[in-house]
Amino acid sequence: MQIHLALPILGLIAASLSLWPATASPQETEPGPVHWAYSAYFGTGWYSVSGDRDVFVARMTPRWTRSEARLDADGSRAVGINFKFPISVGLNDFEFDDPLDAVDVDNVSYLSVNPGIDIEIPINRVWSLRPYASIGYGQAFGTSESAWTYWAGVKSRLAFRSGKLNWRLLNQIAYVGYTPNTGPSDSFTPLMIGFEFDYPLAFSDNPGKRWLLHWYTTYSVYGDNLEFTAGSQQITDQWELGAALGGRDSPIQIWFMKFDRLGLGYRTSSNGDLRGITFVFRSEFDE
């Protein structure tokens, strides 16, 4: 069993793109920020909208690999099957100078559990597809709000090599939605294109360990179906740029936890009203 934890030290990892909504009066007619039910889909990080609304979510994702994807020289292939169990916890408050203070029952705003499956299909030597699906349930604490959340999609990866540099073209299309216990359901269809790179590093902290430098950039379009509202501004897309350090031959191990890579990413919208810092543990294709 492989365990991916986006919570390495009692809440040091925080936030997702779920933009927890502020309380609105009945007279307000403007749409609120993205519903908290989307948090598990958007992943790990810290986010700010127009500089005045911060959002924090701690997430861990235990996963079990049933089989590894493989393409043999004779053309025979094996399909990779992974079962995931993401658990997302929304935090009302998070201070980077006192992260342990965030780990408090009174600080939890919601809990969401979203079990799912993804299947990696090697098409040929350079091209792989990864269909995935998930369905789960979330509860907002202190209110009667709850919601079923679900998503499905497919990722594509084209992998190439140029000398020591490995680089990959990534694409993704997905359907993401939620059905609350009160009110209408909602959904959107994100589209993503991106590039990933990795390059071997010359240094080594010990003779038996070799390292890779990973970096990536992605662009996602949310369209009119998902609008991050910040005053009069509408946020309908996202750029992300990040870098991470990973082992070439084995994962990074901290205590009992294992990570494919460890790094940081920066997210922003084209108009600059959405800003965020994410924590990188895997390739976008494997996430």
The superfamily CATH assigns to domain 2-280 is Autotransporter beta-domain (2.40.128.130)
Determine the distance from the C-alpha atom of residue 226 to the mean position of all C-alpha atoms in its chain, rounded to a whole number: 17
Nearest CA-CA partner of 17 in 217, 40, 145: 40
Enter the pTM of the model. 0.79
Q: What are the residue ranges spanned by the domains of the chain?
A: 2-280
Closest C-alpha to 129, from 94, 153, 105: 153
- How do the pLDDT tens digits run along the chain, 287 residues long? 333 333 332 233 333 333 333 333 333 333 344 567 777 787 776 767 665 556 677 788 889 999 999 988 887 889 999 999 989 887 765 554 454 454 555 556 788 999 999 999 999 999 999 999 999 999 888 888 899 999 999 999 999 999 999 999 999 999 999 999 988 888 889 999 999 999 998 765 566 678 899 999 999 998 665 655 444 456 788 999 999 999 888 888 888 788 889 999 998 988 787 788 888 999 999 98
